Structure 1
Amino acid sequence: MSDSYLKKILMKLKKGGLIVASASKNGGYQLARPIGAISIKDVFTALQQLTDDQLELSHLDQYIFPDPNHVAQSEQEISQAFHQAFAAFYDQLDQFKLDHLLKEDAVGTIDWAE
């Protein structure tokens, strides 16, 4: 992984409030919250920066169907279906905490000088 790509990921995680950076001699990055308080949803949304209100419809159907009420109703139904799907997706990700991925003795620090 390139240094620039890693920095982009770290900046997204920092902007998402998941990590903090220290610019001191012994600085670096560390979690902003306890690992058990960070979910996969937190990581996903920080990296993807996508929310369900960013769903944009192309409105191509207005050129196919002459009835604007039909178009508006159909778009509303599609938007609602996506909203419900995103809500269920994010609820599932929010239940999965990062500490679930680690063995009990695996949490620690790395001494990069060694």
Structure 2
Amino acid sequence: MKITSGVEQAICILLMLASQHDGLPLKSVTLSTRLQVSESYLKKVLRKLVVGGLINSSASKTGGFSLAKSDESITLLEVFEAIEGSDPFFVPSNLVEKVFLMPETIEKNKNTVITIISEAETLYKNRLKQCTLRQLRYFVNNNTPGTVDWNVIVEKGLL
């Protein structure tokens, strides 16, 4: 399994929105400029976050993107699933049956392989479910939530 760069971008976007001063909306150009990523790709990620119910979009002169719910209630699993989807990592194709020679052990051995992979997926998803955006913010900001006006930072080329 390979996680796309969209998951990393989504987490960074959400961290910026969560730390935005007074919850003011951020435009996609502000986000892409600060993150130094393609605005067209970033817009695709933003759209998935909107559809996933994690952010709101407001089209106006003062509009942009803002969190749809508190950073305390957004888990990394929700972010992952908004970008990657919630389908299982592994869908058996019965190919594994072809490597076991004794017919009486095929089903047992096939189920063992499937179980191990399924358990790994469950552990992965459970870990993502345990971590909220707020916890990540505190970790990144040395145990302080802090706010920033990203609009001013990007506009003035600060940092």
**Could you say whether these structures have the same fold, taking a TM-score greater than 0.5 normalized by the shorter chain as the test?**
yes
After TM superposition, the structure 1 stretch with the greater mean CA deviation from structure 2, 55-64 or 28-37, is: 55-64
Gaps of 5+ in 1: none
- CA change 1:63–1:83 in 2 (3 A) is closer
Question: What's 1:110 paired with?
Answer: 150
Number of corresponding residues: 112
Q: Summarize the Cα distance change of 1:61–1:41 in structure 2 as closer, same or farther, 3 Å threshold.
A: closer
RMSD: 2.4
> Is this contact kept in 1: 2:97–2:110, CA < 8 A?
no
Number of the residue aligned with 1:48: 84
Give the deviation of 1:19 after TM superposition. Answer: 0.9
1:86: which partner in 2?
121
Deviations 1:72-100 (A, max 9, x none): 33222222222222222222211111112
CA contact (8 A) 1:62 1:68 kept: no
Counterpart among 112, 118, 122 of residue 77 in structure 1: 112
Identity percentage of aligned residues? 30
- Determine the structure 2 residue equivalent to 1:18: 54
Aligned partners of 1:19 and 1:29 also within 8 Å: yes
| Distance verdict in 2 for CA 1:69–1:23, change over 3 Å | farther
| Runs of at least 5 residues in structure 2 that lack an aligned partner in the other structure | 1-36, 138-143
- TM-score in terms of structure 2 length: 0.58
SS at match of 2:56: strand
What per-residue deviation string (whole Å, max 9, x for no partner) do you get for residues 23-74 of structure 1?
A: 223221111110111111211222222433x512343333343555533332
Normalised to the residue count of structure 1, the TM-score between the two structures is 0.76
Classify 1:61/1:81 alpha carbon distance in 2 versus 1 (closer, same or farther; 3 Å): closer
